[in-house]
Structure 1
Amino acid sequence: MAPERERTPAGASAATRPRTRLDQPRPPRRRLLPEWDPEAFGRLSERIARFLGTGRFIVWMTVVIIVWVLWNIAVPGALKFDEYPFIFLTLALSLQASYAAPLILLAQNRQDDRDRVNLEQDRKQNERSIADTEYLTREIAALRIGLGEVATRDWIRSELQDLLKDLDGQVVFPADRSPGRDVEDR
């Protein structure tokens, strides 16, 4: 138990007052109302809502109602607990419906929240994908422009063919020279 604070006289200075330690958590307070985890309650409501939406629930509910009605019609009067208008059955079904509707709505709200978060994440991912695609498009365009200035194989081939046409007839090969000119070259 935490030590009690003493009341300080009106004229006491800050140095004489007891200090509260800020580096340690306060002791837990006692509460009058019970506490519950809203996430745990939400998960429970989703499980119940999922069960209420299954064929298994419909089959079991139908079996229970048929057994209820047959019991209260076929058994002797002393064993009947709900006579013909089946008021207790109507009350039980109304009670079940009054609890099922809010639980289903709570589960739907939680699903809407999850869908909203997923939609936001998808939107951000799409924005990143679009930005990446635009970046890659710009890079490819820059490469195409850069390649437009680079000599390609076909361009070099055409240039060499043009040079060959220009040089055709001007080229003198050593075999075509006369034997006397070889002395001049020395």
Structure 2
Amino acid sequence: MAPDRDGTRERTASGATAAGRSPRPRLDQPRPPRRRILPEWDPEAFGRLSERIARFIGTGRFLVWMTVVIIVWVLWNIAAPGDLRFDEYPFIFLTLALSLQASYAAPLILLAQNRQDDRDRVNLEQDRKQNERSIADTEYLTREIAALRIGLGEVATRDWIRSELQDLVKELEERQDGHRGNGHREHGVFPAERPRGRDVDDR
């Protein structure tokens, strides 16, 4: 009975130690997502929003509305009854609001400019690749046209054949005139046809 008890104790101790160990991460499974303290946002969505704000700040409409708001603000705090005034002279709250607006407007404009620079860089890279393809196509077409010209230079044209035939006719006429001077009877450029019938050479 004692050995069984010792074996049971050993198995219990080994099981306790195995259970007490932290499980090893499995390589065939993705890691669980970590908890983040900071909130998550979409950089592209934030970039598009910043570009819209920067475009609106750079328009005349924004300047007109800003001027109207400042004028109304100042007139209200000067002409309104004392109980309704919320920012009396020297308009400290208005100054803080304009400073806060300027502090946010500058980074938004810079962010929009950076995104525009990235787009311009991508467009320039695409234009460069397109120009390289166009140059390669132009060089290929130039080589093909040069090969066609070389091939056409070796082809017999109609004028060249006509000149060769004329030279051949002149040469035959000269030979005919030479044969006539030697007493041969031949009519025309080509020799006369032989009489029909069996020739002596055919025998």
Q: TM-score, normalised by structure 2?
A: 0.72
Deviation at 1:18, TM superposition (A): 5.3
Please give the alpha-carbon distance, in whole angstroms, between the structure 2 residues aligned to 1:93 and 1:172: 116
Query: Could you tell me which amino acid in structure 1 is paired with residue 169 of structure 2?
Result: L
Please give the alpha-carbon distance, in whole angstroms, between the structure 1 residues aligned to 2:196 and 2:156: 43
Query: Which string of whole-angstrom CA distances, capped at 9 and with x for unpartnered residues, describes residues 21-44 of structure 1?
Result: 433322222222222222222121
Deviation at 1:99, TM superposition (A): 0.3
Which of 169, 172, 182 is the aligned partner of 1:167? 172
Deviation at 1:184, TM superposition (A): 6.7
**Structure 2 counterpart SS, 1:25:** coil
Identity, % of aligned pairs?
Answer: 84
Higher relative contact order (CA 8 A, sep 6+): 1
Deviation at 1:185, TM superposition (A): 7.4
Residue matched to 2:41: 36
Number of equivalent positions: 171
Deviation at 1:69, TM superposition (A): 1.7
Please give the alpha-carbon distance, in whole angstroms, between the structure 1 residues aligned to 2:37 and 2:108: 26
Residue matched to 1:118: 123
5+ unaligned residues in a row in structure 2: which ranges? 1-17, 177-185
Deviation at 1:183, TM superposition (A): 5.1
Deviation at 1:19, TM superposition (A): 5.8
Residue matched to 2:159: 154
Query: Could you tell me which amino acid in structure 2 is paired with residue 69 of structure 1?
Result: V
State whether structure 2 residue 78 is matched by structure 1 residue 73: yes
Structure of greater Rg: 2
**Structure 1 counterpart SS, 2:195:** helix
Query: Could you tell me which amino acid in structure 2 is paired with residue 182 of structure 1?
Result: P
Cα RMSD after superposing both structures: 2.8
Which of 94, 97, 102 is the aligned partner of 2:107? 102
Residue matched to 1:57: 62
Query: Which string of whole-angstrom CA distances, capped at 9 and with x for unpartnered residues, describes residues 144-182 of structure 1?
Result: 112111111221222222223223474845xx969xx63
5+ unaligned residues in a row in structure 1: which ranges? 9-16
Please give the alpha-carbon distance, in whole angstroms, between the structure 2 residues aligned to 1:160 and 1:56: 86
Residue matched to 2:9: none
Alpha-carbon spacing, 1:47–1:185, altered in 2? closer, same or farther (3 Å): farther
Please give the alpha-carbon distance, in whole angstroms, between the structure 1 residues aligned to 2:63 and 2:145: 60
**Structure 1 counterpart SS, 2:131:** helix
State whether structure 2 residue 27 is matched by structure 1 residue 22: yes
Please give the alpha-carbon distance, in whole angstroms, between the structure 1 residues aligned to 2:63 and 2:152: 70
Please give the alpha-carbon distance, in whole angstroms, between the structure 1 residues aligned to 2:46 and 2:20: 43
**Structure 2 counterpart SS, 1:28:** coil
Please give the alpha-carbon distance, in whole angstroms, between the structure 2 residues aligned to 1:52 and 1:70: 24
